[in-house]
Chain A
Amino acid sequence: MKAQIRLRNTLLTLVTYLIAAAFLFPLVWMFMAAFKTEAQAFATPPVFIFTPTLENFEKAMGSYFPALRNSLIAAVGSTVLAFILGLPAAFALAVYPTRRAQNVLTWMLSTKFMPAVGVIVPLFLIYRNLDLLDTLPGLILMYTTMNLPLVVWMMHSYMTEIPYAIYEAAKVDGATVAQEFFGIALPLSTPGMAATALLCLIFAWNEVFFALNLTSSDAAPLSVFIGEFKTSQGLFWAQLSAAATLVVLPVLIFGWIAQRQLVRGLSFGAVK
């Protein structure tokens, strides 16, 4: 009986590892191709053992840097702007929780569910009139819209976890709202801020729709850059893999670090 259970457990573990291997395969295959020569990347039967080369990374780098710079500026810029706008709101909603505040919070969250296709046409026309098309400020503005509800909602949930007695003590000492905000709320929710920032960076980095429709060349981020590989350049598998590796790796590392907060952010705290 005991041996049977142990056998069953070992088998289940084996199955888990097999499914995991299958799921990781496309990524592993991509990482491997990044270090192959083009001929090796294309070879049938596929080459599993080879001498790695960095040649593809050197080739990909040339065109990669402008897009990388744009992605970095758009992701960091929108995260900072979303924090500047969202932190005070999250603080006010957490510390002065009226019924109206609840409604505001719910409404802000609802904007997160607004499909981009419902707003893209007028935005495109407005951007064209304001000369914001294919500019980084234009992209940052949209990514801020995308991340702001997340910042408010997540930071609100972190800030409500701060014991109210701390605020009360500060009030007795005559603290102003600004002092409560900068002196208590912000320092005590730093871990939450870090997690929220990571999520914002991941979402902005991976965004495709606004990037493709609001930028073309000057402000094109990595998603647009990689999209170009779908046609003729897709024939260069090794180079494509190297570029894709460079695009994916930072997000993978961020995501692995923030995996616990990922659940909270993605389900808006409905599952903890």
Chain B
Amino acid sequence: MTAAATPHAPAAHRRGFRLTPAALIWPALLYLILTTQVPFFMTVYYSFFRYNLAIPGARPFIGLDNYKNLLTDPQNLTILWNTVVLAGGTLILTLIIGAALALLLNRDFPGRALLRTLLISSFLVMPVVTAVVWKNMLLNPAFGFFSWVLTSLGLPTVDFLAQHPMASVIAMIAWEWTPFAMLILLTGLQSLPDDQIEAARLDGASPWQEFRFVVLPHWTQAIQVVVLMETIALLQVYGEIYGSTSGGPGLATTNLPYFIYQKAFAEYNIGLASAAGVITVVLTNVLAAYMLRLLTRTSRSE
């Protein structure tokens, strides 16, 4: 930050209307407060009431009952667990495959730039498109491509979304998010100075030692970014579930966002949906706080 070093005194002598920094910042600030903070506090407020749009008139205050209900009903615990499994499973898969791809792409070979460009494609695909295409054309038990692969290998066909719903959804979302991990991790690798590797090689480091003591420490920041950003995003997965399993079969793939959508827009249970929304925000904010600390550290060290 070059500007930070040169404090700047605003010229007070100019006549007429003067744009102050505050006047430039407030419109954006106000907009964000109105569209994020105000509705969030309303969500918190609603979460203390038994509030159902289908039952107009009555809106009794019930304190923390919605939260109690959410956190004690075994069905709802399944949903919390699903949310964690979905985010965690996808994160682990994308980290492993993304790291492997980043290491593979960090070498010199013909077509490398093109491959890198093409490989980000699945991240850019609209989540609903991913879901609908995977559900119908790849995972379909009778006509899907994967079924055909299994049959031609002499294996029995599998109704992926019915028999292994969570694993299928994780595979699908991991397909989407691997390019993100790959891009961030590759950028992290490329910022590693060559002379560090060379120095390690001159000292006679084995490839493993080189990776463990030179590459990995340098990679930590990029890995942290992937873990935090993905976790924050994956806790909010919605379009993929909506487009493929609709949370089913049963509750097998219902996560918090999909649950909130069902409670609010199918059952009109505003109170309960709000409480679940507050839980999601709290969960996300714990992670976001770490992310923000990481970011401020980066911008300070610039």
Contacts and interface: CB of A to CB of B under 8 A. Distances in A.
Contacts of B69: none
Interface in B243-270: 243-244, 246, 256-257, 260-261, 264-265, 270
Interface stretch (B57-65, B74-82, B183-191, B193-201): B183-191
Contact of B264 (A24, A124, A237): A124
Interface in A1-58: 9, 12-13, 15-17, 19-20, 23-24, 26-27, 29-30, 33, 41-42, 44-46
A117 B32 contact: no
A248 B129 contact: yes
Given A88-B25, A160-B1, A226 B281 contact: no
Given A118-B40, A229-B132, A240-B136, A94 B3 contact: yes
Contacts of A171: 11
5 contacts: A16-B105, A111-B36, A117-B236, A118-B284, A144-B31
Interface in B261-302: 261, 264-265, 270, 273-274, 276-278, 280-281, 284-285, 287-288, 291-292, 294-296, 298-299
A271 B232 CA distance: 17
A118 B31 contact: no
A17 B243 contact: no
Interface stretch (B13-21, B162-170, B209-217): B13-21
Which bucket holds chain A's interface residue count?
35 or more
Contact of B3 (A144, A164, A270): A164
Interface residues of B, number: 115
B6 A164 contact: yes
Interface string A228-269: 011000110100110010011001101110010011001111
Given A122-B42, A271-B222, A208 B126 contact: yes
B19 A177 contact: yes
Contacts of A20: 115, 118-119
B14 A88 contact: no
Instruction: Say what secondary structure dominates the interface of chain B.
Output: helix
B143 A44 contact: yes
B170 to A, nearest CB: 15
B238 to A, nearest CB: 5
A108 interface: yes
A21 to B, nearest CB: 10
Nearest to A253: B124
Interface string A120-151: 11111110000000000000011011001100
